[in-house]
Amino acid sequence: MKFQIEDVTVYFPYDHIYPEQYSYMVELKRALDAKGHCLLEMPTGTGKTIALLSLITSYTISKPQGAIKLIYCTRTVHEMEKTLAELKLLHNYQVKHLGPAAKILAIGLSSRKNLCVNPNVLEANNRDSVDAACRKRTASWVRALAAENPNVETCEFFENYERAASGAVLPPGDLRAYGKEKGWCPYFLARHMVQLANVVVYSYQYLLDPKVAGIISKEMQKESVVVFDEAHNIDNVCIEALSVSVRRQTLDGASRNISRIEQEINRFKATDANRLRDEYKRLVNGLALSGNLPGSDSWLSNPALPDDILREAVPGNIRRAEHFLHVLRRLLQYLTVRLDTENVEKESPISFVASINNQAGIDQKTLKFCYDRLHSLMLTLEITDTDEFLHVQTICDFATLVGTYSRGFSIIIEPFDERMPHIPDPVLQLSCHDASLAIKPVFDRFQSVVITSGTLSPIDLYPRLLNFHPVVSRSFKMSLTRDCICPMVLTRGSDQLPVSTKFDMRSDPGVVRNYGKLLVEMVSIVPDGIVCFFVSYSYMDGIINTWNESGLLKEIMQHKLVFIETQDVVETTLALDNYRRACDCGRGAVFFSVARGKVAEGIDFDRHYGRLVIMFGVPFQYTLSKILLARLEYLRDTFQIKEGDFLTFDALRQAAQCVGRVIRSKADYGMMIFADKRYSRHDKRSKLPGWILSHLRDAHLNLSTDMALHIAREFLRKMAQPYDKTGSSGKKTLLSQEDLEKMDDSGKQAMLY
Please give the pLDDT value at position 287: 47
Residue 10 CB neighbour total at 10 angstroms: 22
- In degrees, rounded to 5, the angle at the alpha carbon of residue 311 between the alpha carbons of residues 305 and 313 is 130
DSSP states along 469-500? --SEEEEPPPP-SS--EEEEEEEE-TT--B--
Q: CA triplet 421, 427, 432: central angle to 5 degrees?
A: 120
Buried b (16+ CB within 10 A) or exposed e, 131-159: bbbbbbbbbeebbeeeeeeeeeebbebbb
CA neighbor of 653 nearest in space, from 488, 455, 451, 435: 455
Q: Per-residue pLDDT averaged across 473-480, rounded?
A: 88
pLDDT digits (tens, 9 = 90+) for 305-364: 777 766 667 788 888 899 999 999 999 999 999 999 889 999 999 999 999 999 999 999
- Of 55-69, 561-575, 723-737, which one has max mean pLDDT? 561-575
- The residues that bridge with 490 in the sheet, in sequence order, are 675, 703
- Quick one: what percent of the chain has pLDDT higher than 70? 94
CB atoms within 10 A of CB 338: 19
CA distance 228 to 39: 10
CA distances from 484 to 42, 196, 210, 262, 691 (A): 17, 44, 43, 67, 12
Average confidence (pLDDT) over 742-753: 68
pLDDT digit string (tens) for 276-306? Answer: 888 888 777 764 444 455 666 666 778 887 7
pLDDT of residue 279: 83
Least confident piece of the model among 115-129, 154-168, 726-740: 726-740
Query: In this predicted structure, what is the pLDDT of residue 298?
Result: 66
CA angle 478, 482, 484 (to 5 degrees): 70
Q: Give the HSE-up count for residue 353: Cα atoms under 13 Å, Cβ half-sphere.
A: 21
Nearby residues of 284 by Cβ (< 8 Å), 6 or more positions away: 313, 319
Cα–Cα distance, 439 to 725 (Å, whole number):
41
DSSP 701: S
Residue 108 burial (10 A CB sphere; 0-12, 13-18, 19+): buried
d(CA 631, CA 410): 9
Among the listed residues 626, 487, 627, the one whose alpha carbon sits nearest the alpha carbon of residue 43 = 487
How far, in Å, CA of 397 to CA of 380, rounded?
19
What values do phi and psi take at 746, rounded to 5? -65, -35
243: helix, strand or coil: coil
Q: Give the pLDDT confidence score for residue 752 in this predicted structure.
A: 63
Q: What is the pLDDT of residue 164?
A: 83
Phi, psi of 529 (to 5 degrees): -95, 140
**How many other C-beta atoms are found inside a 10 Å radius of the C-beta of residue 354?**
14
Q: What is the mean pLDDT of residues 210-217?
A: 87
Mean pLDDT along residues 581-585: 96
Q: At what angle do helices 127-138 and 140-148 cross, to 10 degrees?
A: 40
- Considering only 264-268, 302-306, 412-416, 501-505, which range has the smallest mean pLDDT? 302-306
Q: What is the pLDDT of residue 167?
A: 65
Nearest-angstrom CA–CA distance, 370 and 262: 16
Burial zone of 345 (CB within 10 Å; 0-12 exposed, 13-18 middle, 19+ buried): middle
Q: Tens digit of pLDDT for each residue in 642-679?
A: 999 999 999 999 999 999 988 888 888 999 999 999 99
pTM of the model: 0.92
Which distant-in-sequence residues (6+ apart) come within 8 Å of 472 by Cβ?
27, 28, 30, 31, 34, 36, 38, 39, 40
The helix/strand/coil state of 93 is: helix
CA distance 188 to 182: 14
Could you tell me if 159 and 138 are in contact, meaning their C-beta atoms sit under 8 angstroms apart? no
pLDDT in tens, 674-698: 999 999 999 999 999 989 999 999 9
Burial 176-201 (b: 16+ CB within 10 A, else e): eebbeebebbbbbbbbbbbeebbbbb
Residue 729 pLDDT: 52
Half-sphere exposure of 245 (CA within 13 A, CB side): 10
pLDDT at 513: 96
Residue 497 banded pLDDT, cuts 50, 70, 90: very high
Say if residue 315 is preceded by a cis peptide, omega within 30 of 0: no
Note the pLDDT tens digit of each residue in 352-398. Answer: 999 999 999 999 999 999 998 999 899 889 888 888 999 999 999 99
To the nearest whole number, what is the mean pLDDT of the chain?
A: 90
Segment 71-92 shows an average pLDDT of 91
Q: Can you give 614-658 as a three-state secondary structure string?
A: EEECCCCCCCCCHHHHHHHHHHHHHHCCCHHHHHHHHHHHHHHHH
Please state, in angstroms and as integers, the Cα–Cα distance from residue 161 to each residue in 120, 158, 187, 493, following that order. 18, 5, 10, 66
Show the beta-strand stretches assigned E in 382-484: 409-416, 424-432, 448-453, 472-475
Contacts of 679 (CB under 8 A, 6+ apart): 489, 491, 618, 685
Nearest-5° Cα angle at 162, 161 to 163: 90
Backbone angles phi, psi at 584, to 5 degrees: -65, -40
Other C-beta atoms closer than 10 Å to the C-beta of 640 total: 9
Residue 728 has pLDDT above 60, yes or no: no
DSSP 314: P
Mean pLDDT over 206-222 rounds to 87
Beta strand pairing call for 472-475 and 485-492: unpaired
**pLDDT surpassing 80 at residue 57:** yes
